[in-house]
Amino acid sequence: MVAPTPTPFTPNDNPDYDLLAGNIEKWMQTGLSGFVVGSYGGEEFHLSSKEKIRCVEVVSQAHEGKRFVIAGIDTPSPTAALLQAEEYASAGADMIRVRIPDIPGDKSDRGVVEYFDQVVSMSPLPVIVIHQPKEAMSVNATPDEILAVTSMDNVYAYIMSLNFRWECRIPSFIHESTQLWTCNGTLLLPGAMIGAEGACLFFANWAPDICREIISLVKEGSYSEARDIQSKVSHADFIGMDKGVAALKSGLNMLGYETTVPRAPTRPLNSDEESELREAFKTAGIL
């Protein structure tokens, strides 16, 4: 159960590494397995390369070897991806999470497979593949490509996309050596129903133990109980998906973390939005 780790900022809009380390210590008291650094939840497109590397260093030091760090990579260039992988390995990352690139052209040209063949074979760290197209319901790989990529020796897990109708086919294609992870709070129950063994989602920042419980109940066959819990968390997750990092940080601040506000120009939640999220947290049993 892993989550994209948000980056706190100082009043001068610089990363606050002390607050980041303090938040990691607080998450260590939960069932969160690891931290995904340099991803959407950490405002990856609002951080410089130097800042992301420093975040990896801080999180790696703060968890003291008791959890693991996954560093996010999002580039269509295998050369650039490998350079980042080397930097993240030196900073203390344990794995890298690589987004399937949108490679123009005929899908039959094996562009996705060739990309990962180069990245996976030369990466100093195990690779987690994430299928996260820029448009939520589009597809950046074929099932055959998913099979080929997840069959590679250095691939640890595959994170499904929001296109659940398409992802329902993937369990029959993904290689047995690669874990299947679902991708957000609303898809915990249905993801587990098709075979997800874990999850990477920002809802796990708020309530990792609830996320873990839903998947565990499905694996045990306790579907009604899992459905009841899922129904209680769906409103909070919807707000999170709708408002993004602003909701993620607002919710964490309610829970006693110090995540400050999003980096400009992203605006924080207003008072009405915060009130709605607080009520959703109460329904979910988070507050």
Q: Taking a C-beta distance cutoff of 8 angstroms, is the pair 70, 96 a contact? A: yes
Q: What is the pTM of this model?
A: 0.94
Alpha carbons 263 and 249: distance in angstroms, whole number: 11
Separation of CA 214 from chain center: 17
Please list the pLDDT of the chain residue by residue as tens digits (287 residues): 999 999 999 999 999 999 999 999 999 999 999 999 988 777 888 899 999 999 999 999 999 999 999 999 999 999 999 999 999 999 999 999 999 998 876 555 578 999 999 999 999 999 999 999 888 788 999 999 999 999 999 999 999 999 999 999 999 999 999 999 999 999 999 999 999 999 999 999 999 999 999 999 999 999 999 999 999 999 999 999 999 999 999 999 999 999 999 998 999 999 999 999 999 999 999 99
Which CATH number is 2-220 given? 3.20.20.70
Q: Classify residue 9 by its DSSP letter.
A: B
Q: Which two tokens stand for residue 20?
A: 């980041």
Burial class (CB in 10 A: 0-12, 13-18, 19+), 131: buried
Q: Which residues of 188-225 are buried (b: 16+ CB within 10 A; e: fewer)?
A: bbebbbbbbebbbbbbbbbbbebbbbbbebbeeeeeee
Which pLDDT value is given to residue 68?
96
Q: Domain boundaries in the chain?
A: 2-220
Cis peptide bond prior to 265, omega within 30° of 0: yes
